Structure 1
Amino acid sequence: MIQSTKIIILETSISALRNIRRNWKKKRLRWSPTDDLKLCGAWLLVSKDPVTGKDQSDKSFWKCIYTEYVQSQNQNSERSISAVVSRWQKLSHAVSKFADCIKKIHDCYQSGLSEDDKKNKALELYHHLEGEIFTLMHAWDVLKKEEKWLSQYVNTKDTPSTEHTGSKRSKTNTTNSYTSNEDSDIIISPCPPGRKFSKAKGKQKEALASEIEKKKEALEAQHNVELQKIEKIDSFNKTMEGLCKEIKRVHNQNFALKFMELDPSTMTEDQRKVYDKTLESVLSDD
């Protein structure tokens, strides 16, 4: 009897440990780019469906998405529906922010940059605003082409968040996007419109002013360096001019001394004429 009890307790403990390990594994399960793309595909498939994507609760809507996602895995998914919803919230929110960055870059650089250059500048802007690298380019490449997601993105930007008392998903406008307050853990809450844009615009102005100031300081420093070079060249030219004059003076002085040592009485008439003319020139230079 005691032995049987011990076996039962041991089996119960093993089962509990397995459940703990399974739950821990679910929590630690990371999302790969392939998983993200399958989630995007499931969301788009259900959203575009004229039956499942219309007039139903958020809970039913996400159950349909979860079912499509699990079927796309070709195996039993270890993720719960809440994990799938949470991932979509994070993914859609990040991609929406990156879409804002893309729009701002296109507005600032309407010409002169290639699409790859604009994408790179949008990545830099996202990193500057959010403090992290945008790692969902694979999701952006899919969602940016889909009218259903784009309409939700536009509505999320332009329509303030409102509370609803009903459990049904209701249309916010003619673009067939939905809002609801049922099951708050699966509601995608939009950011306040305009706040990020104003913040980014202010930072862009500050960065531009800082860049202009740096360029101005660099130009002033370069101007000062050029002035110093000119002053050094002028100083060198004056020194060389003085040195040349001194060399010429010494040369003339030595020539005069040697010239005065000559005896005119031994010279011919022609030599005497040259001597007299040279002597007159030497005396006039002195």
Structure 2
Amino acid sequence: MQFSPFSTQSENDVTIIPPPTNTGSSRRTLWSIEDDKMLAHSYYTISQDSKIGNEQSGPRFWKRVEEYCNANVGNDRPKRNVDRLKSHWTLVKRLTYDFHTIYYRLQGMRPSDANDADIIVRATEEYKVKHGRDKFGYEHVWAICKDVPSWQPSFVARQASLSKSSTNQISSASVGGSVEGSGGGSSQGNEGGSEEIFP
């Protein structure tokens, strides 16, 4: 190291500052396929527990998801908090459910000579065009979610009907006054007190 000729500092006085180490707090760890699968499994394990499913508030529901997910994720994977889990799941579930609805619509128009693999290929192609993506990246999540009761067409149709009825009630209340018993409270009908339209 070179010093200015006017410097009073000697080479022995130099303090070597090591480069900063990555503690994991300054950058996010990428989600792996196994991370996605564990989150999906955790979400539906908690939401389908008959003792706790829809009888708890959103915050409590997600706290249980966090506890379950972090207790079962691999030792080499990061432990994520509620905000990280909920944020990622909102995106993954929305995209996965969109693929799911495309798949079921195509199943309803399935040619006699087409098999399930053919329908998945067609659904993937339609999904890519719709979202401007080069692939559907959450097949591993869909494989878990597609058989969940709340993802079945009959359930989705019933929820859509209930949602439409609720909207009509709100519209009536805004015109003719409040609906008796509404009280401004939120329904716990969706999993974990979620306000999402999809299951």
TM-score when normalising by structure 1:
0.49
Q: Percentage identity across aligned positions?
A: 20
Larger relative contact order (Cα-Cα within 8 Å, sequence gap ≥ 6): 2
Q: Which AA in structure 2 matches 1:84?
A: L
1:181-220 → structure 2 map (5 Å cutoff): 187=194, 189-190=196-197
Compare the two structures and name the one with the higher helix fraction: 1
* Dislocated runs of 4+, deviation >4 Å: 151-158, 160-164
Deviation at 1:21, TM superposition (A): 4.6
For the residues of structure 1 that align with 2:54 and 2:127, how far apart are their CA atoms?
34
For the residues of structure 2 that align with 1:108 and 1:149, how far apart are their CA atoms?
19
Instruction: Name the count of aligned residue pairs.
Output: 163
**Is the 1:37–1:138 contact (alpha carbons within 8 Å) kept by the matching residues of 2?**
yes
For the residues of structure 1 that align with 2:129 and 2:91, how far apart are their CA atoms?
19
Q: Which AA in structure 2 matches 1:190?
A: I
**Is the 2:103–2:119 contact (alpha carbons within 8 Å) kept by the matching residues of 1?**
yes
Cα shift readout 1:18-68 (whole Å, capped 9, x = no counterpart) = 7x853223x3x1111111111111112111212221311100000001100
- Given candidates 153, 165, 188, the residue that maps to 1:170 is 188
105 and 122 in structure 1: CA distance in 2 versus 1, 3 angstrom threshold: same
TM-score when normalising by structure 2:
0.68
84 and 156 in structure 1: CA distance in 2 versus 1, 3 angstrom threshold: farther
For the residues of structure 1 that align with 2:35 and 2:127, how far apart are their CA atoms?
23
Match of 1:54 in 2: 54
**Is the 1:96–1:153 contact (alpha carbons within 8 Å) kept by the matching residues of 2?**
no
**Is the 2:53–2:192 contact (alpha carbons within 8 Å) kept by the matching residues of 1?**
no
**Is the 1:44–1:148 contact (alpha carbons within 8 Å) kept by the matching residues of 2?**
no
For the residues of structure 2 that align with 1:71 and 1:126, how far apart are their CA atoms?
34
Q: Which structure is larger by alpha-carbon Rg, 1 or 2?
A: 1
Unpaired runs of at least 5, structure 1: 1-13, 172-176, 181-186, 192-286
For the residues of structure 1 that align with 2:42 and 2:191, how far apart are their CA atoms?
17
Q: How big is the alpha-carbon RMSD for the aligned residues of Structure 1 and Structure 2?
A: 3.2
For the residues of structure 1 that align with 2:56 and 2:122, how far apart are their CA atoms?
40
Match of 1:71 in 2: 71
**Is the 1:66–1:81 contact (alpha carbons within 8 Å) kept by the matching residues of 2?**
yes
Unpaired runs of at least 5, structure 2: 1-17, 171-181
**Is the 2:46–2:52 contact (alpha carbons within 8 Å) kept by the matching residues of 1?**
yes
Q: Which AA in structure 2 matches 1:145?
A: D
